[in-house]
Amino acid sequence: MGKADVLVVGGGVVGASVAWHLTRLGQDRVTVVDAREREVLPGATGLAPGLVGQLSATAELAELAKDSVATYRDLSRSAPEPLFWQVGCLEVATSAARLERAHQDVEHGRSLGIEARVVDAADAVAMAPALVDAERALGALHIPSDGAADPAALTHALVAAAERGGAHFRWNTPVRALERENGRVVGVRVGEDGALIAADRVVLAAGMWGPVLAAEAGVRLPMVAVQHPYLFTAEVPGLDDTPVDAPIVRYPDHLVYTRRHGRRYGLGTYSHLPLPLTPTRTLVSAEQPFREADFGAALAEATALVPAFRETAHGRRLNGVFALTPDELPLVGPAPALPGLWFAEASWVTHAGGVGRQLAGMLLDTGDHLVPPDRLAPDRFADWSDEKIHETALGHYRGIYDAH
């Protein structure tokens, strides 16, 4: 295989999205390397709950999410298996203040090009009876164009589509280091023997491992890895294999979100102290041991809120890791201090489609950007200390619920 024009490190949902969007723009000399096997997703993608909500306090996130919805719908039309269900979202109000906020969010959504309406409690319960607490709901904000994704199926579809466009994926290929020559990145060293894969440009889309590789090359990525709990019910009698048949449901007053996953329901909560994690090369998975002492109380409150979790035995509990930035926006673009190095980091399934389009347009200099590039520039916190980046990012942990 010859030298790649673009080499992407990381074959999760973000890296696969970057590769696919590059091939759609005619760039066929794209290589993606990933340490895992093709069918395994040990990174954050494999643990993602798959909620795709577009309404955000931040216009940039809304634009990226809207484009992601369009991308996932396009892929779904030709995919051999379902990967995205545009079932809508209900943001349940359990207080008068939140219900008033819902009315304000209708106008906010309109300003962002996102349709939303307020429904009464009875309608909310009728839309998702297993997930909406009839005793506490005062009404809900309904966003019909939101949806739920199967992160694994979505990623595999992006990989397959990128391969059809000419991209080459190399699995079981751990990256050991970025290769530098004359002050720029010229490829990566991979495998036990440190073989060189040369490339004109290298994109880090490696999730929480991105900062590790970047730091070894002298570049700081302003993101913080944080741990987050998610809980499934056991299989529910009477539920079939239909992945999703009701809106995803969020409880903004309680920092809780929930959805159906086929024969089970899933639930996550932000109502606990943020728990940072420092990634290292020896960390092989984004799933960490479940921390009952830190998550137990928050999950108990959350499960008391959602009917399906009150009525069904609980199943798997997981502790996943994702990345935060000081302003809650992803890191997309070049590393000014190290030519040849680019980033697509600190992004979720919610925004991965849009991030892929944004970076592909920048790499190929099409001039077509969803978001002004400076708003996502990886060096926008260059004058911040490590301590300030860390404290500010973690301070957004609960607030990120409203931003996503």
User: What pLDDT, on the 0 to 100 scale, is given for residue 403?
Assistant: 44
Other beta carbons less than 10 A from residue 316's beta carbon: 12
pLDDT band at 280 (very low <50, low <70, confident <90, very high): confident
Task: Tell me the three state secondary structure of residue 12.
Answer: coil
User: What pLDDT, on the 0 to 100 scale, is given for residue 43?
Assistant: 66
Q: Is the pLDDT of residue 20 over 50?
A: yes
CA distance to 104, 221, 280, per residue, from 339 (Å): 44, 15, 24
Q: Is the pLDDT of residue 185 over 50?
A: yes
Q: Is the pLDDT of residue 401 over 70?
A: no
What is the C-alpha to C-alpha distance for residues 305 and 289, in angstroms, rounded to an integer? Answer: 25
- Class for domain 4-47+152-222+327-384, per CATH? alpha beta
What is the C-alpha to C-alpha distance for residues 80 and 342, in angstroms, rounded to an integer? Answer: 32
At a CB cut-off of 8 Å and minimum separation 6, what does 121 contact? 132, 134, 137, 138, 139, 140
Task: Tell me the three state secondary structure of residue 328.
Answer: coil
Nearest CA-CA partner of 268 in 141, 140, 401, 143: 401
User: What pLDDT, on the 0 to 100 scale, is given for residue 399?
Assistant: 64
> For residue 124, what is the enclosing H or E element?
helix 121-127
User: What pLDDT, on the 0 to 100 scale, is given for residue 117?
Assistant: 98
What is the C-alpha to C-alpha distance for residues 209 and 341, in angstroms, rounded to an integer? Answer: 15
pLDDT band at 4 (very low <50, low <70, confident <90, very high): confident
More confident residue, 39 or 98: 98
Mean pLDDT over the full length of the chain: 94
pLDDT in tens, 332-369: 999 999 999 999 999 989 999 999 999 999 999 999 99
What mean pLDDT comes out for the span 309-324? 95
All CATH 3.30.9.10 domain ranges in the chain, comma separated: 87-145+224-324
All CATH 3.50.50.60 domain ranges in the chain, comma separated: 4-47+152-222+327-384
Tokens 């484009």 — which residue? 67
| The amino acid at 404 | H
What mean pLDDT comes out for the span 118-140? 98
In the CATH hierarchy, which fold is given to the domain comprising 87-145+224-324?
Answer: D-Amino Acid Oxidase; Chain A, domain 2 (3.30.9)
What mean pLDDT comes out for the span 138-167? 96
| The amino acid at 139 | G
What is the C-alpha to C-alpha distance for residues 299 and 56, in angstroms, rounded to an integer? Answer: 24
Nearest CA-CA partner of 39 in 128, 147, 152, 206: 152
pLDDT in tens, 216-240: 999 999 999 999 999 999 999 999 9
Task: List, as one string, the DSSP characters of 228-294.
Answer: EEEEEEPPPTT--S-S--S-EEEETTTTEEEEEETTEEEEEE--S--EEE---TT---SEE---HHH
pLDDT band at 404 (very low <50, low <70, confident <90, very high): very low
What mean pLDDT comes out for the span 83-108? 97
At a CB cut-off of 8 Å and minimum separation 6, what does 252 contact? 91, 92, 93, 98, 101, 401, 402
Residue 163, phi-psi category: left (phi > 0), alpha (psi -120 to 50), beta (remainder)? alpha
Percent of the chain predicted with pLDDT > 70 = 97
More confident residue, 243 or 72: 72
What mean pLDDT comes out for the span 71-83? 90
Instruction: Check if the beta carbon of residue 398 is closer than 8 Å to that of residue 273.
Output: no
User: What pLDDT, on the 0 to 100 scale, is given for residue 281?
Assistant: 83
